[in-house]
């Protein structure tokens, strides 16, 4: 038996929960200190006095409060007087949190660092290159959920997740229970307040550039401010100049698109494509990645509904073997080392999965993605057919193009859940590999409107 998720979650493909136990309720981020994240890095540095010719990048460990990673990088570069492109990091963190992460800054010395409110900076050393996403092994979380209504249900959720994830017979780890959850892409992937990035990406993959533009600049959402909703309603009429006049200046990406539409008179499909291509390259790619993530979430939801295990393969599954360079306590799959599982190999590969040496996967569909066989492949193809998509549709121009990959469908972590001293909150402590979302763990425990978890 499966339990339906909140309508906002179903809209981004997270259609069910893995556990059927009532949640504890509650909400996140009453204050920044309620959500603490510390990066687990995989990046080597030299002493700070290493020669700058060989090691031009100064490496910093920065604890931020009230800062989005991108905004802090911009503030830091502006204060130093350098290009923003000389500041790099491994993982983007949310503004409403206390976060600790590495930054690298090219071509500066420690005495060049400015004092920035809300930023505690430790100079770690020097490096020969900048930091990038692959240098992030994972994140450690300490999260306080306030206003819980059923705190006593936490242990029942833990037991349910252990059983669902094939961990019921596994021992505890230093007093913590290890749980498993579906490796969904969280609400943040699609836009917490207005989840539309996947709708834009789906339209792009189908070659409907005008629909992609309308999904982004029109398409009002009840969670937005009234003025923003009104501007989107004007955009829905196709009067681009009127929409540009109505749009708040703070929504600079929408305004960028509208400027381009006004400039080109938007009479041909290519004009709409050019308008989207006026956006930053990372945002262009994000649209397609969100579409892939939506397909992935839909596939996982259907697998849960059918009761197909996540912790071991069935015939037809594609598994990835573990990345040998990942930390032992934060294992991740190596998508370049895959194997298709047939009837003869199911039990052998299942033992590899049970030992953390292999992972059952689902596709982030793209031009180079091989779909599974058997019932898993049937699910993948049914989801794509329902969305009128095929892997070849991701053969797209420029930054929209994607070859795809495969991603583990389950993530596990030791978790500690303790009542807060005040009695109206729960403290969660756990760690996840890079690319996994803390909210995918918390949604199983809380079972609330995802807006309460953002």
Token pair of 164 as six digits: 């669902």
Spatial distance between the Cα atoms of 205 and 212, rounded to a whole number of angstroms: 9
* Widest Cα–Cα separation across the chain: 65
Q: Residue 134 in contact with residue 70, Cβ under 8 Å?
A: no
Please name the residue ranges forming H helices in 195-251: 197-205, 209-217, 226-236, 240-246
Give SS3 for 364. Answer: strand
How far, CA to CA in Å, does 390 sit from each of 195, 292, 309, 381? Answer: 23, 11, 26, 8
Token pair of 17 as six digits: 């929960």
163: CB partners within 8 A, 6+ apart: none
Rg (CA), the chain: 23
CA 253 to chain CA mean position, Å: 21
Q: Residue 374 in contact with residue 315, Cβ under 8 Å?
A: yes
Which DSSP helix (H) or strand (E) runs through 124? Answer: strand 119-127
Spatial distance between the Cα atoms of 416 and 402, rounded to a whole number of angstroms: 38
Active site residue 329: no
123 pairs with which residues across the strands? 60
Spatial distance between the Cα atoms of 101 and 19, rounded to a whole number of angstroms: 32
Q: Which of 94, 135, 317, 393 is catalytic?
A: 94
Q: Residue 2 in contact with residue 16, Cβ under 8 Å?
A: yes
Spatial distance between the Cα atoms of 173 and 186, rounded to a whole number of angstroms: 26
Nearest to 62, CA basis, from 123, 132, 136 = 123
Q: What angle do CA 349, 353, 355 make, to 5 degrees?
A: 115
Query: Which residues carry out catalysis?
Result: 94
């Amino acid at each position: 038996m499966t339990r339906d998720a909140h309508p906002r979650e179903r809209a981004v493909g997270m259609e069910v929960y893995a556990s059927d136990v009532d949640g504890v309720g509650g909400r996140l981020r009453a204050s920044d200190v309620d959500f603490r994240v510390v990066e687990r890095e995989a990046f080597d540095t030299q002493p700070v006095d290493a020669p700058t010719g060989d090691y031009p990048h100064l490496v910093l460990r920065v604890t931020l409060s009230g800062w989005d990673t991108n905004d802090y990088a911009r503030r830091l570069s502006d204060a130093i007087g350098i290009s923003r492109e000389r500041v790099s990091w491994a993982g983007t963190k949310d503004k409403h949190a206390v976060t600790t992460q590495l930054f690298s800054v090219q071509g500066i010395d420690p005495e060049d660092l400015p004092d920035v409110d809300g930023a505690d900076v430790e100079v770690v050393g020097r490096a020969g290159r900048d930091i990038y996403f692959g240098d992030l092994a994972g994140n450690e979380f300490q999260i306080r959920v306030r206003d819980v209504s059923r705190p006593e249900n936490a242990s029942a959720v833990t037991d349910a997740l252990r059983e669902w994830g094939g961990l019921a017979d596994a021992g505890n780890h230093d007093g913590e229970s290890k749980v498993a959850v579906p490796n969904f892409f969280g609400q943040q992937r699609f836009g917490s307040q207005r989840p539309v990035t996947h709708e834009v990406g789906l339209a792009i993959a189908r070659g409907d550039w005008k629909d992609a533009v309308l999904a982004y600049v029109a398409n009002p959402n009840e969670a937005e401010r009234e003025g923003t909703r009104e501007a989107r309603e004007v955009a829905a009429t196709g009067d681009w100049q009127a929409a540009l006049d109505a749009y708040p200046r703070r929504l600079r990406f929408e305004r960028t698109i509208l400027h381009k539409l006004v400039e080109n008179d938007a009479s041909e499909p290519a004009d709409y494509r050019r308008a989207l291509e006026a956006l930053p390259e990372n945002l262009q790619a994000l649209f397609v990645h969100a579409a892939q993530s939506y397909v992935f979430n839909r596939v996982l939801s259907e697998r849960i509904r059918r009761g197909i295990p996540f912790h071991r393969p069935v015939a037809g599954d594609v598994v990835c073997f573990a990345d040998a360079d990942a930390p032992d306590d934060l294992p991740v799959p190596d998508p370049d080392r895959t194997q298709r599982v047939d009837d003869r190999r199911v039990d052998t590969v299942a033992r590899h999965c049970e030992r953390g040496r292999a992972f059952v996967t689902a596709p982030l569909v793209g031009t180079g993605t091989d779909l599974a066989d058997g019932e898993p492949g049937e699910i993948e193809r049914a989801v794509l057919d329902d969305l009128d998509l095929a892997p070849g549709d991701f053969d797209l121009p420029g930054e929209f193009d994607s070859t795809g990959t495969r991603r583990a469908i389950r993530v596990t972590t030791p978790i500690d859940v303790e009542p807060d001293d005040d009695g109206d909150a729960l403290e969660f402590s756990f760690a996840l590999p890079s690319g996994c979302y803390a909210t995918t763990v918390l949604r199983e425990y809380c079972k609330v409107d995802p807006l309460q978890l953002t």
